[in-house]
Structure 1
Amino acid sequence: MSALPKGWKTVRLGDVTSKPQYGYTTKSSAVGNVRYLRTTDLTSGKVNWESVPYCVENPVIISKYQLKNNDIVISRAGSVGFHSLIKNPPANTVFASYLIRFEPNGNIEPKYLSHFLNSREYWEQITEKAAGVAVQNVNAKKLADLTLPLASKSQQKRIADKLDSVLAKVDAAQARLDKIPTLLKRFRQSVLAAATSGELTKEWREENGVAIECWQKIELKDVCRSISDGDHQAPPKVEKGIPFLVISNVSRGYINFGTVSRWVPQNYYDSLKSIRKPELGDILYTVTGSFGIPLIVNTCDNFCFQRHIAIIKPIDKVIEPYFLKLFLESPKIYKHASKIATGTAQKTVSLTNLRKFPITLPSKEEQVEISNKVIELFEHANTVEKQYQAAKARLDKLTQSILAKAFRGELVTADDCDIEQVVS
């Protein structure tokens, strides 16, 4: 802990709270009359009392574990270190045994303590206390021994109030940012829907005298040289050789060779049928478990893959590989795949059904026009996504920067205006 401002001191958590108390042990139930706050109810940052379950067996003495305003509960196992400052709990609410209760005494403002329990300084101590065990956990003594900087009571209140105000603006900015991934997903899906319905190239057809009726209704097999999948026999393993891909290596819509953990010998790869050997411009399509993910093979390097991945070899003169990929990832085709997938534990799209996927095919010239428009629109979306990620990273750092400033005694100064301007 760095040097503290004049009048501040370093204290233990146990110095400013009551003796820590472990929670009550029982199972949870969807119905009952005594709420049962668990570790999992804290991890979202705020307690949603409506979703907190009930005790299967109520404590004999409910008051012993009953939560009160300004109690602080900290998770000692699982999501170690997460906490909640209890505000307006429902009547008859108790806390689970994986939580430890601390009741702030008259020397500390509960909100001040709660803010500290979100700081990097706190989390560094938690990480150190929980290290060295198979299942991370901390006990009451370790938590009580955590240290924190303590200002005067009046300054604690000013700091806590200022943090409430500033961090509320950070939270509001975060809430606005959190909407962006959903908006981008909807945008990409709407682009794909427009691309595969003809809406995206409506003006192009009008300019070129082409009718939408020229789009042919066919099946996937009609535009492909072959549709197969990976070898159904377990392949031999070697430490280094030809990469052997599984779904996790392609689940993001591209081949991630950096995550490959399995290789096969050259002679195994050579023995595969040509329809199972990927070539530039082929389409891979996941058919089991996380089914419905298409990607274009954009490498000349040799590799092979498990049977949960299909390989589609398009007829180049008939269909553009990129246009085919767009069709396979469109909302309409994914809905169709979901409808025909079979199985319980892991849904599977059979090769027979994959070959019968309905395709609406425009001319090769219009396919190129569609592909170019989608690429352009997706590039705009990718730019926005990068800007979102950069803004999110800055905002994540800003919260910790504000907390650090607060517990160095620098928040309630003339610098306040600078901080507020950043998050406004």
Structure 2
Amino acid sequence: MSNPDSNAKVAPPSGHPREGGNPEQTTFWPTSTLGEIANWGSGGTPSRSNSAFYGGNIPWIKTGDLGPKIIRESSEFITELAVAKSSAKHFPKGSVAIAMYGATIGKTSILGIDATTNQACAVGNPINGITTSLFLYYFLKNEKKAFIAKSKGGAQPNISQTLIKEHEISLPPLAEQKIIADKLDELLAQVDTLKARLDAIPATLKRFRQSVLAAAVSGKLTKEWRGAVEYKRDVATLAHFTDIDIGHAFKSKEFTETGIRLLRGQNIEPGALRWKETKFFPEEKVGAFEHLRLIAGDIILAMDRPIVAAGLKLARVKPEDLPCLLVQRVARFKNFRGLNANFLMLILEDPSFSNYLIPNQTGSDIPHISGKQILSYPVSIPNLEEQTEIVRRVEKLFTYADQLEQQVKNAQTRVNQLTQSILAKAFRGELTEQWRKDNPELISGDNSAAALLERIKAERAAATPPRKAKKTANQG
């Protein structure tokens, strides 16, 4: 086979960016398009009104199924009749699917099974001898942002199959493609392992905080601090140490657009107050409700649906939350007797308190806990000096946990960026620089990507039937 002719679109030598491309992108490979290296198609959705189209044994892939590196099962199945009566098509195992519509644009997976797809998936079947499923998959992942940037439409942007087929690719020789894919497999597997370990740390920190709270309220946290001093605690219910205020049932007809904020149950989330959907009460009418005016540091507990997925709806009022008034079915703790307010927060944050509330709630639609039930919670309280020491130690340990959690978040951000960075390096040729130096015979002559592209062009030209010449007026 001869070398590519002078019309082949080949990149400049090593170290020179491709003309018209990203100035940071240095490539050594000829430029092709996705349409030249894979056979593309898209599927369709059989009519939902015909039950005979669904529940068959043909996997039907939708964009929601995309994302895993290899798809080995689908969320829905259709029948052969559905394929015959719709634009759904069969695609072979090893094809690479990419989402074209909406928020899923650019999500990519390799089909690990023979399957059909809906019309929102473009599917490329790599041309044998030109590229591989794995290389195409990684290239599409690298180009996700580029596809999103090319998308058109308002609320539901999309890319077309034509756009995908016209999308340029700097194509390495086949041998180098395999090296790139292998290196990406290895490196990204390491990234996934690191990410999994980082993702597991927040749950570990949550268990750490819970164990600290349990040690705090049981006396274990200050056992060494007490030394030989006898361990003394007052054992009683919360009612012995504190009282609670329960808010007023303000009338909705009295709500105004401005005024003093009303603290309702829906304004409380675990650890903080939030002021979405805020209701207000006229300042001039507050006089009769001054006793319900909150101050910074107040401990607040929602009595309706007090426990949600994120935890107990318990928070402390901050200066920026003020001014506000307490509303019905919201409790405020007050009048502490031999009880440090900060130590009370530890008691309430301890999972044992939430575990106590769960079986004592009433109501099925909206679980509710009464003030009497709250104050009936059994506790054992050390003297104020030990309470202060416990709070100090917990704050120190929680500060450490908070700092570690922030470090984990920062590391997660870097790891999430690492995947894209590795992909970008791969398709700039940086991962295989030494390999190219060591294997010049595998990237030149008939082994070059340019030669491969010329071969596929020739094969396609040979497979295309010649056009019939039009008859002229003088031809019989």
Aligned partner of 2:97 in structure 1 is 73
User: Does structure 1 residue 390 correspond to structure 2 residue 410?
Assistant: yes
Once the 2 structures are TM-superposed, how far is the Cα of residue 82 of structure 1 from its aligned partner?
4.5
SS of alignment partner, residue 312 of structure 1: strand
From 388, 393, 412, the counterpart of 2:432: 412
**1:97–1:232 distance in 2 versus 1, CA, 3 Å:** farther
> What is the one-letter code of the residue matched to 1:216?
V
Aligned partner of 2:185 in structure 1 is 164
Counterparts of 1:281 and 1:10, CA distance in 2: 65
User: Does structure 1 residue 115 correspond to structure 2 residue 133?
Assistant: no
User: Does structure 1 residue 236 correspond to structure 2 residue 255?
Assistant: yes
Counterparts of 1:385 and 1:114, CA distance in 2: 34
From 201, 216, 221, the counterpart of 2:235: 216
**1:265–1:307 distance in 2 versus 1, CA, 3 Å:** closer
Contact 1:73 1:100 in 2 (8 A): yes
Which stretch of structure 1 is more off in the superposition, 185-194 or 361-370?
361-370
Contact 2:296 2:319 in 1 (8 A): yes
From 391, 407, 410, the counterpart of 1:371: 391
Query: After the TM superposition, which residues 3-42 of structure 1 pair with which residues of structure 2 at under 5 Å, given as runs?
Result: 5=26, 7-25=28-46, 33-42=57-66
Counterparts of 1:247 and 1:148, CA distance in 2: 56
Aligned partner of 1:188 in structure 2 is 209
SS of alignment partner, residue 209 of structure 1: coil
**1:343–1:86 distance in 2 versus 1, CA, 3 Å:** farther
SS of alignment partner, residue 118 of structure 1: helix
**1:247–1:105 distance in 2 versus 1, CA, 3 Å:** farther
Aligned partner of 2:151 in structure 1 is 129
Once the 2 structures are TM-superposed, how far is the Cα of residue 268 of structure 1 from its aligned partner?
6.3
Counterparts of 1:345 and 1:9, CA distance in 2: 65
TM-score (norm 2): 0.72
Counterparts of 1:14 and 1:343, CA distance in 2: 62
**1:145–1:230 distance in 2 versus 1, CA, 3 Å:** farther
TM-score (norm 1): 0.80
Aligned partner of 2:10 in structure 1 is none
**1:6–1:113 distance in 2 versus 1, CA, 3 Å:** same
**1:88–1:329 distance in 2 versus 1, CA, 3 Å:** same
Contact 1:70 1:86 in 2 (8 A): yes
Counterparts of 1:345 and 1:216, CA distance in 2: 35
User: Does structure 1 residue 281 correspond to structure 2 residue 297?
Assistant: yes
Query: After the TM superposition, which residues 170-319 of structure 1 pair with which residues of structure 2 at under 5 Å, given as runs?
Result: 170-211=191-232, 214-218=233-237, 220-229=238-247, 231-234=249-252, 236-238=255-257, 242-243=260-261, 250-251=268-269, 253-255=271-273, 262=278, 264=280, 267=283, 270-271=286-287, 273-289=289-305, 291=307, 292-299=312-319, 302-304=322-324, 307=327, 310-319=330-339
SS of alignment partner, residue 191 of structure 2: helix
Contact 1:24 1:94 in 2 (8 A): no
Counterparts of 2:34 and 2:365, CA distance in 1: 48
Aligned partner of 1:326 in structure 2 is 346
Contact 2:99 2:108 in 1 (8 A): no
Q: Deviations over 1:340-362 (max 9, x none)?
A: 33445554434453343343333
Identical-pair percentage: 28
Contact 1:227 1:355 in 2 (8 A): no
SS of alignment partner, residue 273 of structure 1: helix
Aligned partner of 1:102 in structure 2 is 124
Q: What's the Cα RMSD here?
A: 3.6
> What is the one-letter code of the residue matched to 1:71?
S
SS of alignment partner, residue 280 of structure 1: coil
Which stretch of structure 1 is more off in the superposition, 132-141 or 109-118?
132-141
Q: Deviations over 1:76-131 (max 9, x none)?
A: 34542253433543xx7543454332222233222122112222x4323224405x
Counterparts of 1:382 and 1:270, CA distance in 2: 39
**1:196–1:137 distance in 2 versus 1, CA, 3 Å:** farther
Once the 2 structures are TM-superposed, how far is the Cα of residue 205 of structure 1 from its aligned partner?
4.2
SS of alignment partner, residue 20 of structure 1: strand
Which stretch of structure 1 is more off in the superposition, 318-327 or 336-345?
336-345
User: Does structure 1 residue 361 correspond to structure 2 residue 381?
Assistant: yes
**1:194–1:247 distance in 2 versus 1, CA, 3 Å:** same
Counterparts of 2:101 and 2:367, CA distance in 1: 35
SS of alignment partner, residue 208 of structure 1: coil
Which stretch of structure 1 is more off in the superposition, 374-383 or 6-15?
6-15
| Structure having the higher Rg | 2
Which consecutive residues of structure 2, in runs of 5 or more, have no partner in the other structure? Answer: 1-20, 437-476
SS of alignment partner, residue 19 of structure 1: strand
**1:53–1:397 distance in 2 versus 1, CA, 3 Å:** closer
**1:10–1:269 distance in 2 versus 1, CA, 3 Å:** farther
Counterparts of 2:326 and 2:154, CA distance in 1: 37
> What is the one-letter code of the residue matched to 2:123?
R
